């Protein structure tokens, strides 16, 4: 209950901090916010050229396929990478004013969610341009994005805590993310590219790969996601969130001594 109260209490702080962070990213840039659109588009065209033209990928509606993968991976990658040193990078705030440390992560996640929704808006526009049929299953996007947020937020809370004490964790996370990138199916279909039974195992144990694949299924193929796996990952994500919040509440008073 204290978590919900604190989210309500610090909502305006989180909102304005996220807004300031977004503004600082494009400060001094002539294209400003247009970069948030150009970045996923540039990566999409690069992957289309490499895998559709060079390697002859046979996925239907490949631009939409890639954009969904990039949107999901970018959110996951930014959340984990940004959470490792989040407390130490905000030591001026942490050392002077008390604020629940998970509030910092929620605020940062707002900026990543904003970019995620820009990328997904590009998915919709691309679907219209290349005439991808719209199915009722597209409504599953909302609960699947919520599931993604819960799971990634739970993992990021734990990473943020240990990032205070383990100096080399940032390097470990960076290497781990590079390896995981190729195991998540950002630019390929796990069902066809990975032999059985390893493709099914990968989709069950990798929540990002599962949610990415589910989003593609509901958007492109008009197929409902695996409800049982959704519920399992919702349970795991919720447990991770609870553990992460309790871990931070227990040790947050000692963070200042470590980072100063």
pLDDT at 50 over 80: no
Q: What is the pLDDT of residues 196-242, one digit of tens each?
A: 999 999 999 999 999 999 999 999 999 999 999 999 999 999 999 99
Range of the domain at 112: 65-259
Q: What is the mean pLDDT of the chain?
A: 89
Output 173-177 pairs: Cβ under 8 A, ≥24 positions apart: 173/80, 173/81, 173/84, 174/81, 177/77, 177/80, 177/81
Tokens 């553990």 map to which residue? 243
Residue 190 covered by a domain: yes
pLDDT at 31 over 80: no
> How many separate domains does the chain show?
1
**Sequential DSSP letters for 217-258:** IIIII-----HHHHHHHHHHHHHHHHHHHHHHHHHHHHHHHH
Residue 149 covered by a domain: yes
Q: How many helices (H) and strands (E) does the chain have?
A: 13, 0
Q: In angstroms, rounded to a whole number, what is the distance separating the alpha carbons of residues 40 and 231?
A: 30
pLDDT at 1 over 70: no
Q: Could you tell me what percent of the chain has a pLDDT over 70?
A: 93
Residue 175 covered by a domain: yes
Q: How far apart are the first and last CA of the chain?
A: 31
Task: State pTM to two decimals.
Answer: 0.91
Residue 7 covered by a domain: no
pLDDT at 133 over 70: yes
């Amino acid at each position: 209950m204290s978590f919900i109260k604190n989210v309500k209490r610090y909502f305006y702080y989180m909102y304005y901090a996220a807004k300031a962070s977004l503004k600082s990213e494009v400060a001094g840039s002539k294209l400003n916010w247009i970069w948030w659109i150009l970045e996923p588009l540039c990566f999409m065209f690069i992957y289309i050229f490499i895998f559709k033209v060079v390697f002859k990928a046979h996925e239907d509606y490949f631009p939409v396929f890639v954009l969904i993968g990039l949107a999901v991976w970018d959110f996951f990658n930014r959340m984990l990478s940004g959470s490792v040193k989040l407390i130490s990078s905000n030591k001026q705030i942490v050392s002077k004013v008390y604020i629940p440390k998970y509030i910092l992560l929620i605020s940062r996640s707002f900026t990543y969610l904003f970019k995620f929704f820009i990328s997904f808006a590009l998915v919709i526009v691309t679907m219209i341009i290349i005439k991808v049929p719209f199915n009722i299953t597209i409504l599953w996007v909302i609960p699947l994005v919520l599931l993604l947020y819960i799971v990634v937020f739970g993992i990021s809370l734990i990473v943020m805590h240990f990032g205070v004490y383990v100096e080399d964790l940032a390097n470990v996370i960076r290497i781990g993310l590079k390896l995981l990138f190729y195991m998540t199916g950002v630019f390929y279909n796990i069902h066809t590219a990975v032999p059985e039974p390893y493709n099914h195992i990968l989709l069950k144990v990798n929540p990002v790969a599962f949610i990415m694949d589910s989003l593609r299924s509901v958007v492109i193929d008009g197929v409902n996601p695996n409800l049982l796996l959704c519920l399992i990952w919702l349970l795991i994500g919720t447990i991770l969130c609870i553990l992460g919040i309790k871990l931070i509440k227990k040790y947050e008073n000692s963070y200042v001594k470590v980072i100063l």
